[in-house]
Amino acid sequence: MESFAQSVVSGVLTGSLYAMIAIGLTIVFGVMRIINLAHGDMVMLGMFGAYWSYTLWGIDPFLSVCIWAPLMFAGGMLVQRFLLKQVMPKGELNTLLYTAGLSLLIANVALFFWTGDYRTLNLDYAVMPARPFGISVPIPLAIAFVMAIAITTALYLLLSRTDVGRAMRATAQNAQSAALMGVDVGRIDMVTFGLGTALAAAAGVLLVPSLYLYPTVGEILIVKCFVIVVLGGLGSVPGAIAGGVLLGLVESLGAVYVSVAYKDTIGFVLFLLVLLFRPSGLFGVGKS
């Protein structure tokens, strides 16, 4: 019973970080109808940013997120404005392939400069896990969880209370009508992509004390991201949160109760089933 509780807690904690990454991907899809294959590499860049700022200048990652998130926001806006904007009119599939190229480029430039060595970021205060109610909770993961909730809440407020958020939601529903209503769709695209990138990078920064870091980590992450976003419904933020936590739980419980070997397979089989029978996601809120 204890191990069940432990699995659930681990699953939820990790899942919440997955969720944050997935939110970034899903809002970009919702507003721009792009599936950004380079999203996982944005997480990787965030991870490396935090790693270097800690290793070289001693800045704690939970602080440096305030540097890297805005930087990556700006970077994302530039990528959208100067790279993606010209490719989007060529269609969904072409844009998908373009982001595949971008992903390969980013990951391999990183590989070239930083080598494929596995790195870890070890925080001094993180060596011993906390043990509330006998459940082992790694401290960095706990802090990351709390910050992820804070960031997601901020995003929720942005989307529901601000003009920019409303414009984003309008564009997601119908870009043409939004444009006719006076929304500067080009600017919203830039902001959305910047936001998606910032979320990915922030998640990376928060995750780096808890994961192995290497330049091609984006590959696994983007695949997990797809599974989450399809499970939760493409374009739905609550869906991404639910999907992320669900995947975290499936992996965690699967490792304990099914087998460590096949735990990843379960996620994919679930993914295929949802794609085939409930393409709008488990909760039916996604766009087909």
Q: Which residues in the 13-42 window bind other proteins by CB under 8 A?
A: 35
Answer for which of 7, 26, 103, 252 binds other proteins (CB under 8 A) is: 103
Question: Which one of the spans 162-170, 204-212, 218-226, 241-249 is the region binding other proteins (CB under 8 A)?
Answer: 218-226
Q: Nearer Cβ to other proteins, position 140 or 281?
A: 281
* By the rule CB under 8 A, 136 interacts with other proteins: no
* 275 contributes a contact to other proteins by CB under 8 A: yes
Find the binder of other proteins among 8, 83, 175, 185 (CB under 8 A).
83
Nearer to other proteins, 125 or 268 (CB): 268
158 binds other proteins (CB under 8 A): no
From 133-141, 196-204, 243-251, 271-279, span contacting other proteins (CB under 8 A): 271-279
Taking CB under 8 A as the rule, does residue 242 contact other proteins? no
Which residue lies nearer to other proteins by CB, 29 or 73?
29
Nearest distance in Å: CB 66, other proteins: 30
Give the C-alpha separation, 29 to 34, whole Å. 5
User: According to CB under 8 A, which one of 12, 67, 78, 100 is a site residue for other proteins?
Assistant: 100
Give the nearest distance from C-beta 141 to other proteins in angstroms: 25
Q: Which of 67, 71, 96, 185 binds other proteins (CB under 8 A)?
A: 96
Please state the three-class secondary structure of the chain as a single string.
CHHHHHHHHHHHHHHHHHHHHHHHHHHHHHHHCCCCCCHHHHHHHHHHHHHHHHHHHCCCHHHHHHHHHHHHHHHHHHHHHHHHHHHHHHCHHHHHHHHHHHHHHHHHHHHHHHCCCCECCCCHHHCCCECHHHCCECHHHHHHHHHHHHHHHHHHHHHHHCHHHHHHHHHHHCHHHHHHCCCCHHHHHHHHHHHHHHHHHHHHHHHCCCCCECCCHHHHHHHHHHHHHHHHCCCCHHHHHHHHHHHHHHHHHHHHHCCCCCHHHHHHHHHHHHHHHCCCCCCCCCCC
Q: Looking at 47-55, 70-78, 88-96, 137-145, which segment touches other proteins (CB under 8 A)?
A: 88-96
Contact 136, 6 (CB under 8 A): yes
Whole-number Å distance between alpha carbons of 38 and 102: 6
Least CB distance to other proteins at residue 254 (A): 12
Q: Which chain residues interact with other proteins by CB under 8 A?
A: 35, 83, 86-87, 90, 92-94, 96-98, 100-109, 111-112, 116, 219, 223, 226-227, 230, 261-262, 264-265, 268-269, 271-272, 275-276, 279
